[in-house]
Structure 1
Amino acid sequence: MKLLTSLCRGWVLLPLALHAPSALAHLGYPDTTSVTLRRGHPEDMFVGATFGAVISRDSGKSWNWLCPAGMGYGSWRPETFLWQPEGTLLAATGADLIRSRDGGCTWESHPFFKPRGLWPMSLASPASNPSRLWVSTGRAAAPNGVYRSDDGGETFTPTPLQSNTPDKNDNAVYTSVKVAPSDTRRLYVSGSTPEGLRLYRSDDEGETWDTIPQPFPEYSSPSRAYDFFVLRVSDNDPDRLWARVSWQGWTYVLESRDGGHTFRSILHPANQEHDGIDEYLMDMEVSADAKTLWAATPTRLFRLREGDTVATLLSLPDGNACAERQGDVLFVCGATRVHDWALATTMDEGDTYTTLLNLPDLKPPACPAGTPVQDLCTPLWPQFASQPDIGADPTLPGQDGGTPDPGSPDSGTPDAGPSEQPETPTAPPKKSGCSSTGGLVPAAAFFVLTTLRRSRRHNPEN
């Protein structure tokens, strides 16, 4: 299997990488990228993907496709989804907050953020109080802030944590907001300013904020650390949290046990040297007792147990990864093209898996006539379903779900980031999955998928 994977990924993909357009970044495979369960209704599942999303209303027995055009977003693929108990779906795209009130069939841009030029980066809500929502925005060189809703996202008001106000010009962007499950008064927001990285903490539901500089002296030479995101807060200890930071092209999983005042590195995928893999960290998950941590890279999943000094590289998934825990169940994204599941669950921390979704089993949209998903996605279904391993339609029309018009002052390529960021275009954080195509998978990728799938099926070792 290793030989097959190496040959396919190395020799088959090299010519494509040399001649394919930039949209083929991360190979442009049709992959799942995130998992969201409706609160109080675990039978309802929503899975983000590089080709839109898929939805199940029967505990994963059947899945229906939602195309990007029907969801109403362009090249800014949503990374943070929330499914409220009463049925409202929300997604922070990095350029807008979009929502659906009818189970994913009709999506709209929230009227608060886009008219104000705000780009929602992160979305959080405590399970114990789902009507309370928090949104952080991160548009470089523009006003940003953390916003609060007390009515399930119908209306929002700014908290005192704001940047580029008349009395303050700190040029801060707020990359992520998290709520402590065991104390919902405790909020953490990661951010970046030209002077360095920051963690903002509130102990009174956002009424007041403490600013905690994060100099990361171990990651200060020859260039400074960047890409700081708070990722998780412990279920039982509001002072224990995890974050990620990047330096010299690599990412590190950090842990704090003192409420964010100090962090220590606990996992660096590039240092594991498992099978020659040096990869960028996308996201992480942690067990309820905080004794096991999972770190997802674009292709693999690492597991770090309490007391371990080196993380274990799990044999599966391979080719794509994400992780989301619900109770004692861990939902894991995989790659249908490699091991015949795109989503599975595990009850033993990743040693064995039960398949929930295999992409060839997808069904067409199941929305009422007259809804955008039904009207826009159904005509695309025959071509979509006929693609190897279920890919997206290369001719999929782009829609505006927060991506500004090309060539305008709000063009889809964000403004330059703060001074400590590397000289690359600022874009929404890619927390899971491995495609930057926004659902548009080039035809070259389909050729690769066919080759990989046929080779695997005829290899007796697989």
Structure 2
Amino acid sequence: MTFLSSLRRAGLLVLLALHTPPALAHLGYPDTTSVTVRRGHPEDMFLGATFGAVISRDSGKSWSWICPEAMNYGGWRPETFLWQPDGTLLAATGAALIRSQDGGCTWSVHDYFKSRGLWPIGLASPPSNPSRLWVTTSRSASRNGVYRSDDGGQTFTPVLQSDTVVFTAVKVAPSDSRRIYVSGGTATSLRIYRSDDEGAHWEEIAQSFPAYPAPPYPYDLFVMKVSDTDPDRLWARVSWQGWTYVLESKDGGRTFTSVLHPEGEAQDGLGEYLIGIEVSADGNTLWAATHTRLFRVRAGETYATQLPLPDGNACAQREGDVLYVCGASRLHDWALATTTDEGQTYTPLFNLPDTKPPACPAGTPTHDICRPYWPQFAPTIEADPNLTPGETGDAGTPDGGSPGADAGTNPGDGGISEPTPPEPPPPPRKGCSSTSGLVPAACLLALSLFRRPRRRNPEN
């Protein structure tokens, strides 16, 4: 990219940002943030993003945009989504439980948690029984709990509650759906809660973490994965003195040892905020993703290896023998790729400029709210602003639900009954630091274009 083209592109992004509603994270860049494949329907893929989401119903051949305003999550962006076999999409945002039953065209906020002032942060469902959902809440200075649904999320019942504990995450053992792990803690202690009978009884296991004794003590304990084959083997993360540590337990959460030693970082610690981890089917290879990098550590290795790609953005999700990985289109021309050799080589699956406008029918929030934004949003990801919905293909599948089939549009359920186009944005203010929307993001991006040249993917 030449200096002149960089200047032109940076100027365009800054001007567009003055009028573009979706706000970006990840240092201001438009990036993918999570990968979700619909259970039983691998042709359906959903990518969370800093600018809402993109969805594919044809094995990645085409991707359409869903703006954040249509998804009802406000300023709380979901870290992960859950796509059930019946087509229901769910996410715990940290402030609400949101869901869509028509392939992402209509989103609603679950009234059970909203009406009680609960903040859902953890969400899990066993593949063997997708109608069973587990949700944890984590609002400080409030009564929190672990909640169970046996009807696919229509109703919930508390199975564990506390006035002092914040419950950060919940995971179900794939090999034994009766085994449930919940992480949590108070201002002075961290704990793992374990159930061997689907939440009927719980064992509270205090975690002292003797390897990190000096104050300030460890905080932010999150259970992250349970082994595919061994219900006693699990992985968690904890923070201490500004570092993130990935821990492994082989005794059902009673003790943990550090397993991640990134090269170039302090021993045992990960300096950047950890987005998530993924583990191979045999449990002997672990990947850890930060906002910008992907690390891999194999059993028996002393230190983790930083993989050459992705660079600038990362996430990882394993489906069988295939690892789906988020990347940065601005640096290596893909925002999603797959690898079958643990990250040595990648097959690109999606690039941000290939994004199409919302493919939902008129009358749904995703169409009616997002479509007016498309001409202004598209240039920020180098997509074609002149595309129309008819050029994006069909958003739905015969078994993916439809807006008329309990799509969650009942106002009592937190939905949007009569979506209307958004109000025009306010007049822009002067200066990067005093503006809203994408302006600070565009300023950061403009500066980065001069500091760092665009790189092409060295290998696929």
CA contact (8 A) 2:121 2:136 kept: yes
Pairs within 5 Å for 1:38-437:
38-159=38-159, 161-164=160-163, 171-269=164-262, 272=265, 278-389=271-382
Aligned-residue offset at 1:311:
1.1
Secondary structure of the residue aligned to 1:122 is strand
CA distance in 2, matches of 1:373, 1:96: 19
CA distance in 2, matches of 1:229, 1:271: 24
Structure 1 residue runs without a partner (length 5+)? 17-22, 165-170, 393-400, 403-436
Aligned-residue offset at 1:387:
1.8
Distance 1:107 1:452, change over 3 A: farther
Query: One-letter code of the match for 1:227?
Result: D
Distance 1:208 1:358, change over 3 A: same
CA contact (8 A) 1:271 1:278 kept: no
Secondary structure of the residue aligned to 1:70 is helix
Query: One-letter code of the match for 2:356?
Result: K
Distance 1:250 1:301, change over 3 A: same
TM-score of the pair, normalised by structure 1: 0.80
Distance 1:91 1:255, change over 3 A: same
Q: Counterpart in 2 of 1:412?
A: none
Secondary structure of the residue aligned to 1:260 is coil
Distance 1:219 1:344, change over 3 A: same
Aligned-residue offset at 1:268:
3.8
Q: Counterpart in 2 of 1:424?
A: none
Query: One-letter code of the match for 1:378?
Result: R
CA distance in 1, matches of 2:219, 2:242: 10
Aligned-residue offset at 1:117:
0.7
Query: One-letter code of the match for 1:345?
Result: T
Query: One-letter code of the match for 2:138?
Result: G
Distance 1:457 1:83, change over 3 A: closer
CA distance in 2, matches of 1:56, 1:459: 23
CA distance in 1, matches of 2:348, 2:284: 25
CA contact (8 A) 2:127 2:174 kept: yes
CA distance in 2, matches of 1:327, 1:224: 37
TM-score of the pair, normalised by structure 2: 0.80
Query: One-letter code of the match for 1:333?
Result: C
The two structures, once aligned, show a CA RMSD in angstroms of 3.0
Deviations 1:68-118 (A, max 9, x none): 011122110011311111111111110000110110000001111110011
Query: One-letter code of the match for 1:443?
Result: A
CA contact (8 A) 2:190 2:221 kept: yes
Query: One-letter code of the match for 1:339?
Result: H
CA contact (8 A) 2:123 2:136 kept: yes
CA distance in 2, matches of 1:43, 1:172: 40
Query: One-letter code of the match for 1:174?
Result: F
CA contact (8 A) 1:29 1:391 kept: no
CA contact (8 A) 1:30 1:390 kept: no
Aligned-residue offset at 1:386:
1.4
CA contact (8 A) 1:68 1:439 kept: no
CA contact (8 A) 2:328 2:334 kept: yes
Identity %: 69
CA distance in 1, matches of 2:150, 2:319: 24
Distance 1:390 1:246, change over 3 A: farther
CA distance in 2, matches of 1:76, 1:226: 21
Q: Counterpart in 2 of 1:456?
A: 454
Query: One-letter code of the match for 1:332?
Result: V
Aligned-residue offset at 1:390:
6.0
CA distance in 2, matches of 1:460, 1:341: 12
CA contact (8 A) 2:173 2:226 kept: yes
CA distance in 1, matches of 2:85, 2:448: 38
CA distance in 2, matches of 1:79, 1:26: 12
CA distance in 2, matches of 1:460, 1:157: 52
Distance 1:235 1:29, change over 3 A: same
CA distance in 2, matches of 1:101, 1:241: 31
Structure 2 residue runs without a partner (length 5+)? 15-22, 386-412, 415-435
